[in-house]
Amino acid sequence: MLPKFKRILLKLSGESLMGNKSFGLDSSILAQYAQDIKSITELGVQVALVIGGGNIYRGMNEKETGIERAQGDYMGMLATVINGVAMQSMLEKLGVQTRLQSAIKMDQVAEPFIRRKAIRHLEKGRVVIFGAGTGNPYFTTDTAGSLRAVEINADAILKGTRVDGIYDSDPEKNPDAVKFENLTYQDAISQNLKVMDMTAFTLCQENNMPIIVFDMNKAGNLLEIIQGKNIGTIVRS
């Protein structure tokens, strides 16, 4: 079976890497994610990856932390690199070739982000992990994921969460929440559905980049999406 997508940007939240912990990394979650990513690379799918840093530090809570927003955001960017190194290690244990690129220069840890080089790595079958967000404060990793997806000409953004799609309200709080199978960008905006932050979402809308929101914690879901099965919720024009 031919894969539905040739090149994807997989966006993972940092919080998803915690598993049942309240902080840090759960090695069993990392191992499951790495195995799922490997399963689609074996079909010839080119995979780029953006991981948040919320399991280590979130830079938005200036009132809570007393740390200036810009400084906090830089701390969050460094957290994404830590997560990127962890995922790189887990993937390479499985024999998957990877490259970690950082939007902030740190030569001993990662390559600098160079668009043409990233695309070349993907063409050679390497998983490219983009760390340090956009390199700028005041932008989320959702925005970084959307920007990188557009830059590398990805076919879609697959946003892996702990919920199995987009609902009209929080399904973890409301047992009667209704799940959407398909949405347009305009539907998501008019109904104020929190798919991504507005900067990221607008970037996807302007570049006609489909977004699939799905439960990454269920092993095999990623492979099933690549095989064309209707998993999660798709947002498109």
Which DSSP category does 233 fall into? E
Q: Residue 2 falls within a domain, yes or no?
A: no
Q: What is the reported pLDDT for 61?
A: 66
Q: Residue 143 falls within a domain, yes or no?
A: yes
Q: Residue 204 falls within a domain, yes or no?
A: yes
Higher pLDDT, 94 or 69: 94
Higher pLDDT, 65 or 27: 27
Q: What is the reported pLDDT for 60?
A: 61
Q: What is the reported pLDDT for 59?
A: 62
Kindly tell me if the per-residue pLDDT of 220 is higher than 80: yes
Q: What is the reported pLDDT for 203?
A: 95
Which domain does 17 fall in, by range? 7-236
Kindly tell me if the per-residue pLDDT of 221 is higher than 70: yes
Whole-number Å distance between alpha carbons of 188 and 86: 33
Confidence of residue 66 (pLDDT cuts 50, 70, 90): confident
Q: Residue 120 falls within a domain, yes or no?
A: yes
Look at the chain and report how many structural domains it folds into: 1
Q: Which token pair is 223?
A: 């492979």
Confidence of residue 172 (pLDDT cuts 50, 70, 90): confident
Kindly tell me if the per-residue pLDDT of 48 is higher than 90: yes
Q: For residue 160, what is the domain's CATH number? A: 3.40.1160.10
Q: Residue 140 falls within a domain, yes or no?
A: yes
Are 67 and 137 a contacting pair, CB within 8 Å? no
DSSP 126-188: -EEEEESTTSSTT--HHHHHHHHHHHTT-SEEEEEESSSSEESS-TTT-TTPPEESEEEHHHH
Q: What is the reported pLDDT for 53?
A: 95
Tens-place pLDDT, residues 80-123: 999 999 999 999 999 999 999 999 999 999 999 999 999 999 99
Mean pLDDT of the chain: 94
Kindly tell me if the per-residue pLDDT of 130 is higher than 80: yes
- Residues 42-71, buried b or exposed e (16+ Cβ, 10 A)? eeebbbbbbbbbbbbbbbeeeeeeeeeeee
Kindly tell me if the per-residue pLDDT of 1 is higher than 90: no
Q: Which of 75, 128, 77 is nearest to 98 (CA)?
A: 128
Q: Residue 108 falls within a domain, yes or no?
A: yes
Q: Residue 48 falls within a domain, yes or no?
A: yes
Kindly tell me if the per-residue pLDDT of 4 is higher than 80: yes
Q: What is the reported pLDDT for 170?
A: 86
Q: Residue 184 falls within a domain, yes or no?
A: yes
Kindly tell me if the per-residue pLDDT of 7 is higher than 90: yes
